[in-house]
């Protein structure tokens, strides 16, 4: 039996394959291990940090235009290698190729935004704030920064982070998910090909040992994270306790409100993709529909049932597949357990995807789309983030009742409303306590030149991910006030603020 290929680390511009700890990387469509990924020790992470620290002075002083040109080169390379990258994503995550392509495209848009660094890093200037005195502010990089990213978007989420960080003049340590590391590492190699100097971007695969090293090493000045809320809270509190700037994006339980006047056919079409796309493994997925009135709920459930029956579950490499497998066997068992629990709690299981079998892929982690009706707020399937292809329908009488439900939930990542009523939409968007809101848009993910982030326990930290907030997160403001007295003119002691004279 041949040895499995090894996925290593990228440190100081070189692939590193030394180390004793490793774990299997599975193809979720077959259930078979196809690679081994090395898990970095504390020493290995410290080597990456040292490489980033050594590269920082020269990179910090590289003109912003030259840093931006690297991002422009990378955008071209990502587009040229898109088929290769999407194949890597699908092989390790399981999502269908079209979904992988959409993920990669949104990542490329963030690279493109980072290429605007010379414009984004412009400071502010005021002349003559006092006699012969000028004042200005500028945005300077932090130093060594780090990102810890999840399995569900192995290309897009890292591209939310490090391109802007390095475009701002920082160096970066990326700790991707060990479940699907290959596309992340390949993109880092392309960054070197695009002209990124060795040490500016380092990739270490690993587990908690790697994470804790990044959180506690004083050379790391800022950490960005995307993942579950319990881990986000740990990342935030631990990083802050060690003096770091931290943004930690956590979990979600996104509600879609369907009003009685909504275009039900369009709403259901949108909900199908939002609930079951990427097998529901998205923090912006819609796992809950809040229908206003029983007639609306009946129509939505009936239409969803018809559309679900048309879905094809299969390997992501099959162009006819609408939905692929879940990422790992433990995650499959966890999601299946939520369906079991929903039944036990009394929700009506309208569509049961637990019996799905895919011919030729009997050992894959396939769970078909599931649909519950009559979900209640006290149920575990309502309260907890399932992160799988499970959609629940709730029934309320009024829009205000729906909004009260959403506002009471601990998560506040995303939500949406389907309606033809502009007054209702305006009231909803203005008053709902959620960070990202859609009107007839089920996945209101901001484009690259806006910023992404939720409210409540969906985000720890003050700044959102990517977009304008990323520039502020990866830089610190410095304000300089300068005066050049006229030749031969000397003043006596001044006991007031000089700019107030």
The confidence score (pLDDT) of residue 488 equals: 62
Give the span between the Cα atoms of 412 and 416, in whole angstroms. Answer: 12
CA atoms within a 13 Å half-sphere pointing along the CA-CB vector of 451: 21
Would you say domain 6-250+458-479 falls under CATH 3.40.50.620?
Answer: no
Domain residue ranges in the chain: 6-250+458-479, 255-439
Q: Where are the beta strands (DSSP E) in 81-219?
A: 124-130, 133-141, 144-148, 171-175, 201-203
Average pLDDT over residues 145-159: 98
Q: Which residue bears the tokens 């800022």? A: 222
Query: 191 near 108, Cβ under 8 Å?
Result: no
The total number of residues written for the chain in this structure: 501
Whether the pLDDT of residue 374 is over 60: the answer is: yes
> In the numeric block, which tokens belong to residue 57?
């002075």
Structure confidence at residue 484 (pLDDT)? 86
Query: Quick one: pLDDT at residue 500?
Result: 61
Helix, coil or strand: residue 78 = helix
Sign of CA pseudo-dihedral 79, 80, 84, 87: positive
pLDDT (tens digit, 9 = 90+) per residue, 301-347? 999 999 999 999 999 999 999 999 999 999 999 999 999 999 999 99
Q: Are 311 and 321 in contact (CB under 8 A)?
A: no
Q: Which residues are catalytic?
A: 283
Q: Residue 26 — very low, low, confident or very high, per pLDDT cuts 50/70/90?
A: very high
Q: What is the pTM of this model?
A: 0.94
Reduce the DSSP state of residue 185 to 3 states and report it: helix
Exposed e or buried b per residue across 246-284, where buried means at least 16 C-beta atoms within 10 angstroms of its C-beta: bbbbbbbbbbbbbbeebebeebbebbbebbbbbbbbbbb
Element (DSSP H or E) covering residue 378: none
Q: Stretch 390-412: mean pLDDT, rounded?
A: 98
Tens of pLDDT along 70-121?
999 999 999 999 999 999 999 999 999 999 999 999 999 999 999 999 999 9
263-294 residue pLDDT tens: 999 999 999 999 999 999 999 999 999 999 99
**Residue 220, both tokens:** 């790391």
Reference 45, options 184, 175, 192; nearest CA is: 175
Alpha-carbon distance of 266 to 278, in angstroms, equals 20
What confidence tier does 485 reach under pLDDT thresholds 50, 70, 90? confident
- The answer to whether 35 and 8 are in contact (CB under 8 A) is no
d(CA 253, CA 382): 8
- Residues 6 or more apart in contact with residue 100 via CB below 8 angstroms: 85, 86, 87, 89, 90, 93, 155, 316
Pick 369 or 132 by higher pLDDT.
369
Query: Hey, what CATH topology would domain 255-439 get?
Result: Aldehyde Dehydrogenase; Chain A, domain 2 (3.40.309)
Residue 371: pLDDT band with limits 50, 70, 90: very high
Closest by alpha carbon to 202, among 9, 7, 6? 9
Residue 258 token pair: 């369907």
């Amino acid at each position: 039996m041949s040895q499995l290929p090894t996925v290593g680390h990228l440190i100081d511009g070189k692939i590193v394959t030394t180390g004793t700890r490793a774990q299997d990387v599975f193809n979720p469509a077959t259930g078979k291990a196809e690679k081994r990924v090395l898990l970095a020790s504390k020493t290995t992470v410290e080597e990456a940090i040292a490489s980033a620290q050594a590269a920082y002075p020269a990179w910090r002083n590289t003109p912003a235009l030259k840093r931006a040109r690297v991002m422009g080169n990378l955008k071209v390379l990502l587009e040229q290698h898109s088929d290769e990258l999407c194949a890597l994503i699908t092989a390790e995550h399981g999502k269908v190729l079209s979904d992988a392509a959409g993920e990669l495209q949104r990542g490329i848009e963030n690279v493109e935004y980072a290429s605007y660094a010379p414009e984004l890093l412009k400071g502010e200037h005021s002349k003559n704030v006092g006699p012969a005195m000028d004042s200005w502010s500028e945005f300077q990089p932090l130093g060594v920064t780090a990102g810890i990213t999840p399995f569900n978007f192995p290309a897009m989420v890292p591209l939310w982070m490090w391109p802007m960080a390095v475009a701002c003049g920082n160096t970066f340590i990326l700790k991707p998910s060990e479940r699907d590391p290959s596309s992340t590492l390949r993109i880092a190699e392309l960054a070197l090909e695009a002209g990124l100097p060795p040490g500016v971007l380092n990739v270490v695969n690993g587990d908690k040992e790697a994470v804790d090293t990044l959180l506690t090493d004083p050379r790391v000045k800022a950490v960005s994270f995307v993942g579950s809320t319990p881990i986000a809270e740990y990342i935030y509190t631990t990083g802050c306790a060690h003096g770091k700037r931290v943004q930690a994006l956590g979990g979600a339980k996104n509600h879609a409100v369907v009003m009685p006047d909504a275009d039900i056919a369009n709403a259901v079409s949108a909900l199908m993709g939002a609930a079951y796309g990427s097998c529901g493994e998205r923090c912006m997925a819609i796992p809950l529909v809040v229908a206003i009135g029983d007639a609306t709920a009946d129509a939505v459930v009936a239409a969803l049932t018809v559309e679900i029956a048309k879905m094809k579950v299969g390997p992501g490499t099959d162009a006819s597949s609408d939905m692929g497998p879940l990422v790992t066997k433990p995650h499959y068992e966890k999601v299946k357990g939520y369906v079991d629990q929903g039944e036990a709690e009394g929700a009506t299981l309208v569509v049961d995807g637990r019996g799905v079998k895919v011919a030729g892929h009997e050992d894959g982690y396939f769970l078909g789309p599931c649909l519950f009706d009559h979900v209640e707020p006290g149920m575990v399937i309502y309260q907890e983030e399932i992160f799988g292809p499970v959609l629940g329908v709730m029934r309320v009488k009024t829009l205000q009742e729906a909004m009260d439900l959403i506002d009471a939930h601990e998560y506040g990542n995303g939500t949406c409303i389907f309606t033809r009523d502009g007054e209702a939409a305006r009231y909803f968007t203005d008053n709902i306590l959620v960070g990202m809101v859609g009107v007839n848009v089920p996945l209101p993910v901001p484009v690259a030149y806006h910023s992404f982030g939720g409210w409540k326990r969906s985000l720890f930290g003050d700044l959102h991910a990517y977009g304008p907030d990323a520039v502020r997160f990866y830089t610190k403001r410095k304000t300089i006030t300068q005066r050049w007295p006229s030749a031969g003119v000397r003043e006596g002691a001044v006991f007031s603020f000089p700019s107030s004279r």
